[in-house]
Structure 1
């Protein structure tokens, strides 16, 4: 290659690099933001600021600036002005200093409680220092104690205020020092009182074994009864009695021991006898009940008849005890001052020719006709209202009497 050609190639390469460098320099100069700018539209004109800076008025001279040269207050992570922090450093908060305070500020000047890492108010810690817990971070986590909650409780303590004052123990331990409960005791309140036992034990200090025939090995802590039932082949409160070998699958009633699902075909004579006894007992019981029912029905019928006779005898009351009683239907009586009692069970029609006394039927209407000369009178004794009704056109003697019913009033009908 000729020397002049080499020189031309070198010049072209140098020119190309100069163009690239020029573009880089122009880009940096034109688009570079100030140190505290996050985004900008010019070297000295910021749109948004980095944390800790803001665009606005200087609190000292009230001059406006947009180059993010103004710092937020202390303890303020980000802000929109000197007096308006949007986020505080850990340990500080905005708002009222105390719940009872009136003044409200927003420049992160209020300090959280001593054991709070962060908070939203004086009484609401959102994160506590190690070893502390609670809304106020004022108590130790389980297993820790001391002013700084940095000391460990004894191994048997879940929570404590000192090495000798436990408020919560691990299982099977009790008391301020979390002593061990008696053997087989699941929970206890002292060395002599267990509130619950391990499976298979019972008693005040869980020192008695449940019967091995108790279902699932459990029994009542106080009585030792197998409350959940027995294993197959046993019955009774303590599951200490064996079911009959004749029972199918050795299953029998928990209380009485009778076979639940029947008897085996072999050696079942005893079972058949028991079954026959049950059938005979049921039959005898049924006969006794039937006899009692028959006696009661007979007694009711006899009582009803007796009451009916008493009612009839009471109804047949009259002022003359020597008179006979008659069932008179369409009867003619010829003698004067003749007295008859109307039938108390049927409607009765009585004819007479002179003044008489008649007893009105208390069960059904009774019609009595009387004749004086050629004129007739109809008298009807109404049982429901107990009133006397007269049909006109009659001359009756004074003191003509109609008896209505025993135990009620008597009515006198005067001549009209």
Structure 2
């Protein structure tokens, strides 16, 4: 007699042949990855109209728009002209060359020449961009970047080079350790050039390391060298334009909160730390500008404590930079929401005098009109204000008679 195997019924209650008392075990499923869920949700949105109507979001345009000559960027570009004076290893020797560079970084003995060689090495060992639409890499999840990768094929030799013996992981860790503010200015400048080349040519390998990069940028500003600070601003503006904004906002927020509670290093003036904190708050504003209103409504309550405390900070004379940077970020939120009453509900707890001040700033930037299109005037005014604040955070405090915070 043939035996028919019994199957667990998955039919609805009351179906033919199914017992009402049958207990159907739940199907196994992969646990929800919270970070991946955020990325998947965020990938469905386009940039906020306040940001996406801009005539150009090219990183080269961002760099070229900055006031004055970008000395650090010019040094980075001049490396191409120096290539003929720097020996480049044969392919068969590239692994040994990379290991030698990593060892020099780990031992802290890397000089400017080694850093130049390493920067060129990274340029010549390009890794293809990740095509994942929810990937929080530096190329941006939905569009290619003119700087962070150019969709070249990844050769097996390049793949082996970076993955063998965890070479890339070791290089990145050594570079983060090397970028200490006490180093010579030139070493910091070219160390940051190496980091830029990693962003430019090995971006997919940097996934998950964004917080480390933000922390390094904040820390290296303790050097107080003008060109180094200029370099960190270039990094920030590039990253805030290309990293997926929800991920970037969350990561940068965590980074500046951690930075704020760290003990002040010996011989470092509180003015410098306040300038770096303001630098990070401006980054929040740049990410905020890219968020659609419905997403920003979810994110603002998470930023409330940071923005409120920064806006009311009077702990030192240089806290002026912190207050103005916080005001700029909140103005960015108003440019996206276009509803100050709703904004103040999301940021509940703001003192009345600060609400009045913010209302004045919203008027100044032309972003209180909820009926019509604000256009680019408000965004352009805010960007000019952010550039002014960047200049202040990179130089000794000079009280401005035109500031409403004085």
Which band: TM-score by shorter chain? under 0.3
- After TM superposition, the score normalised by the length of structure 1 is 0.16
Give the number of the structure whose residues are more often strand, by fraction.
1
Compare CA radii of gyration and give the structure with the larger one.
1
- After TM superposition, the score normalised by the length of structure 2 is 0.17
Give the number of the structure whose residues are more often helix, by fraction.
2
**Higher RCO, Cα 8 Å, sep 6+:** 2
